[in-house]
Every structure is written in structure tokens, then in C-alpha cells.
Amino acid sequence: MVGVLLDGRYRVVRRLASGGMSLVYVGHDERLDRPVAIKIMNADLAADPPFLDRFTREARAAARILHPNIVTVHDQGTDEKHSAVYLVMELVSGGTLRDLLRERGTLSPGAALAVMEPLLRGLGAAHAEGLVHRDVKPENILIDRNGRVLVADFGLARAVAESSHTTHSGKTGAVFGTIAYLSPEQVTTGRADARSDVYAAGIMLYEMLTGSPPYVGDNAVSVAYRHVNDDVPPPSESDSDIPGELDDLVISATTRDPLKRPADARRMLEMTHAARDSLALSDVDAPTIEPPAALQTSATGGTGATEYVGATPADGNPPDARDTRDTREQGDPQADDDTAEDAGDSGGGATAQQPAAIMTSSDRQQTDDEHLDEDDDDPPRHRRQRRWVVPVIVLVTVAALLAGAGFWWMQWGRWTTVPDFSTASSQQDLSDLAGEAGVDIRLGESEFSETVAEGSPISVDPAAGTKVTRGTDVDVVLSKGPERYVVSEALIGQESTTAMSSITSLVGDRIEIEVVAEYDEDVAADAVVGFKPPAGTEMKPSSTLQVIISKGRTPVPLPDVHGVSADEAMQTLTEAGFSPSVSDEKVFSDEEIDTVAKTEPAAGTKAQPGADVQVTVVLSKGPDLVEVPKVIGSSTDSATATLEEAGFVVDISTVFTTLGLVAVQSPEAGTMAKRGSTVTIQVV
């Protein structure tokens, strides 16, 4: 393909990398005058309609994602003239994560997170658009000259997986993903979602920290078996210096149960940030990771070879370095193409051997002569004819079988029917039904339902009974059951502000809250007494919840302790629930000396019993007595002034004749009377 102009726009300059399903070339966009990378799919895939259909859809989906950590897809097309199905992408000058690991062996925790964070940002952007990679591995993680990390080959694994070619040819090593990084569900069911990419990312983090994937074996089957049946060990078992935070991150991402993994790369990125912050690593953001020196641009301006999609060794271990140098001779272009193709299919050797089936005419004649010598009874021509009969019959039979299988696949095999998920009562039931039908489940955010039981589907799109191709994503929304809210009994007795905060967090604006204050003999003031309806009752949205807050104990009248001793008064008030104390000062009163003259607050005042209610007891000094002055014979005005000055109230009684003099006073002069009492005088 070197020198070919695809669709009159993209010039193929030179081969960059090879693999079992495609060749990657350095190209030039003649229209925009820029270098590009051109991935040209193998001819057998290019002739497969299911592959073309899925390849086109996945390329369009990948092209919509413009993210600095995803290799940009510029164009996709089919060149009929050259029978080429191709994908045009940005040309990344640098190497792959595999090259970096090959050079360094292991990465420090900081350097590993420096690769993981942009990798997860790129995957997260794709997952947000509903796009799953399905073949996350170090060979598909590119690192450019500036240390920028990019994810390559979105959607290609799925497109190849659904082709009829791969179904019948058995070439599945590079299609369904690399066995060292496949999630258990990809091994057992062939289905993949965002959690499958998270699993592969966790395996890569393990490899970056320890130098190898967790599972290696003599063949792919043994590796796949361990993915399905064994838990990935913590990286610290291989290197005790690896911190526990990274152990937790790897274990969380690689748990065998998909539902227990982070939901997508965005959630794993949050966990990665948390691990980074917990470790306080200083080398996460800087310095950037440089690609290996062997992958820098050569003196002639070429770019180091980068393997985007390659065949997987049977043992499931990551591939060693592939020498993708072009071994073709300039003088024989046709021979160059043949040997290059053979090298690519075999994994890319340093030199390409001539296939045993390619022989010269003299070689073929010599072989015929040797067979003639073995059996002289039959004429040579008859023996030659018999030698070709069996191979021809076999070839015709195989061709017929393949044609029949292809026809069956196109007409019936690739189609399936969306099952009736209404019978499912759990996510495991959904997975089982989807696996039997050959479709993928894409769970939406669960919703409340008054009619559909919890865990059962509320909606399914496409609907049950719809005819779809295998691998189609079916959007399912599960029920969370009826929307009900239950207030915990543990909130009773809590301080009102704390309890109200908990209730609001639980019910939001779905329940109307009404606060009622009541006296309570047992619950302290400003604490929750109870709820109406009672705690533990299921409430529907728009229900009213009455929160009863205590105002403390019911106020009671202060006991009347006038005239009793101080000790008796203290006992009476204490038993009533108050905190009494005796004043140091005494007052005059009608009560006996050293008995209670009054209380503050006054007797009969209502107050809430409690240790914080202070009652002061004031004792009596007895009555305030004053000697009555003598005013007989004094004028009315003079007598009144004298008595009032002494503290009495004057009551004047006038006799029939008025001389203006006091003739009689009561009480008599010299008598001790209570200050403020009344003294009566008779004026004549």
C-alpha cells in the first residue's frame, strides 16, 4: 500500500506497525497538508458486511470524542479502488506504555499514577458517551514526546468481534482483547462494559507497579481460568514497598464481580485522586514521563514504530518487543507485500521467511519426479490427477461450508431477540437473560416505582421481542421499589437542630415537615420528643411529618412557704423540683422572726421545675414597730405631720365643735404600733 492515494486524499508514506487484523502506516493528508496515521484493515475484514457496519458506527462514535487523552480519529472510509477499509488518526510521535515498561521494568507509585490519571480521564470521557474500549492494554496506551498519555483504538475490538470473519476463522486473539487484561465477564460471556475497561486498567496498574501482570501461564486457557476463578493479589505481595493505598485501588478495580467495581473510569479516577492525596506524592504531576529513547524520531525524520492492535501470544503474556521494520526490498514491490503480510500475521519477526507453499516451477517438477519413482505401476499422469482430486474436494467442501456458514450468519446467526426482562428480579437475572440472548445490558439510573418491584426493570429499550444484532446495547432502568421514607427512632431525644438536619438530608423536599413544641416531663427542653406518624412508619412523598420538640417540664405554681422555718421551706421547694437558697438579708414582716417572710419569685408564680430555676427564700425580722408620738393638744396640721413623720397613717375624726385641737388619739401615745398602721385623732 506504500505510495497509494486513498480516496484521492490520504497518501500512504511508509509502514509503521503491523498486527493480526491491520497494518498501520505513516500517511499524509494531501488536502490539509498534515501527517496522519492510517490504519488499514486486512482484506478479509474489509469484505465482511457486519464488520463494515460496526466499524463505521464505532469510528463515528470515537470521532465524536475530542479529548486530549484520546487519539483523535480524523476520518474513516472505504477505498473501492484499492479494496481498503481504513481509519485516519492523529500521528503520535513517541512510544507505547509497553515500550516504557520494557525500558524501565517497573514504575514508582507516583509515576504509575501519572500514567493512570490521564489514561482514566480519557477512558472516562469515552464512558460518559457510552463508548467502551474492550481492549485496554499497554500496547494501546501511547505516550508522545511531551509525556502526553493517549488511549488508542476505541471501538475496534467490538467491530472485529462482530465480524463473520472472526466468528469462523478462529482469529480471536486480537479481537476480543488481550487475555492478560480481559475481565472475567469477557472471558465467560464475551460481554463488556465500562467496568470491563476498569478491570483492565487495574491490571495495568498492577503491571506498572510490579513489572508483570498478575496472571501468566503456559497457554491462554490457563490465564483465562485464573481471571475467572482467582482474585488478583495486592501488588505489595510482589514488592512490600508498594503502599496500601495502591493495593486498595488495584483490588477495587479488579474484583471479579463487576457490580463491586467502580462504575466507570470516572469513578476510578476519583479513587485514584484520593490515593494520590492520601500518599501526598510529589511526582504525580511532574516530571512528565518521557518515551524511551529508542522511540524518538530518527535522523531521517521517521517516527518510531508503535503497535496499536497486535496478535496475542497463546500464553496470555504481554508481547515482547516487535520488530516492525520494513524488510521488503526496493526492487520487488510484490514480493515485499507478501513477506510483510506474513510477518504481520505471525506477530512481526525480524526477518520474513519465504512460505513453504511458494515453490518455483523446477521445484514442483522435481517433487513430481520423486513421486513417480515411488510407484511405477500407475501412469504418471493418472497419479498426478489423483493427487489433486482429494485437495480439490477438500477445498470445495470447506468453501461450501464457509459459504453456508456465512449465509447462515448473515441471515440468522447474527440476529437475536431482546428477551423479556420483566421476569428478572435482580441484576444477576438480567445478566443471565442477556447472556442467553447475546445482548449487552446498559443500566440507567434506577427509579422509584409504585407498581414495579425493587430490582425489576421499569423500562427496556429496545423493547422485549425486538429483533437486533448480537452485542446490541439494551438500555434498562431498574426499579428501586416504592418511594418511601422512614424516620429512625434513634432521633428521639437528640437536640432539635441535629435531628432536623438528619431528617432533611433523608427526605429532602419530598416530605413536608411540621415542627410542634410541647411540654414534656421526661425529655429535656429543645430535644425531640417524638414524631407523628411514629418513627419507623413508611411515608409516601408529599406526606406530612410532625416533629415534636420538648419545651421542658410543665410550669407549676411556686409553693407558698410563708411563716415556716428556713429548713422546712428549703425541703418543700426542693421536692417541688426547684433550686432554693436563703438570702443573707432579712426583712420586716408580720411573720415571726426567722420564719419565711417571702420568696423570690413570689409564691404562686408559675415556673418550670428544674435545677436551673433559682428560688430565693427571705426570712422575717418580725413586725416593724414604732412608738406612737403624743399629739393631744396639738393642732390638726401639727399632729398630722408628727404622726406621718413617725411612719403612721393619720385618720382625722372631727367633733361637733371645731377648735382645731386634738382631743383624743388612738392608739395612745407611747404605744408600740406597726409602722404604716393607722392612728386616729379626734379634733375639737
- Which residues are tagged catalytic? 135
- Residue 637: CB atoms within 10 A of its CB come to 9
Determine contact, residues 30/9, Cβ cutoff 8 Å: yes
Across 387-511, where does the E strand assignment appear?
A: 415-417, 440-443, 457-461, 467-469, 473-478
Determine contact, residues 524/550, Cβ cutoff 8 Å: yes
**DSSP-derived 3-state class of residue 552:** coil
Determine contact, residues 98/180, Cβ cutoff 8 Å: no
Q: Tell which residue, 633, 599, 634, has the closest CA to residue 619.
A: 599
Per-position DSSP letters for 336-364, written without gaps between them: HHHHHHHHHHTT--SS-PPPTT---HHHH
Kindly state the cell numbers that stand for 655.
367633733
Determine contact, residues 150/69, Cβ cutoff 8 Å: yes
Across 157-309, where does the E strand assignment appear?
A: none
Classify residue 156 by its DSSP letter: H
Length of the chain: 684
Determine contact, residues 177/186, Cβ cutoff 8 Å: yes
Q: Tell which residue, 442, 474, 473, 479, has the closest CA to residue 460.
A: 474
Q: Tell which residue, 492, 554, 494, has the closest CA to residue 520.
A: 554
Q: Tell which residue, 464, 512, 466, has the closest CA to residue 485.
A: 512
Rg (CA), the chain: 49
Kindly state the cell numbers that stand for 6.
486513498
Q: Give the H or E element holding residue 662.
A: strand 662-666
Kindly state the cell numbers that stand for 541.
412523598
| Neighbouring-strand partners of residue 532 | 546
Print the SS3 string covering 560-591: CCCCCEHHHHHHHHHHCCCEEEECCCCECCCC
Check whether the bond before 462 is cis (ω within 30° of 0). Answer: yes
Contact partners, residue 676, CB within 8 Å, separation at least 6: 624, 647, 648, 649
**The residue to which cell 421514607 is assigned:** 485
**The residue to which cell 510482589 is assigned:** 238
Kindly state the cell numbers that stand for 61.
462514535
Query: CA 241, 244, 248: angle at the middle one, nearest 5?
Result: 135
Determine contact, residues 23/326, Cβ cutoff 8 Å: no
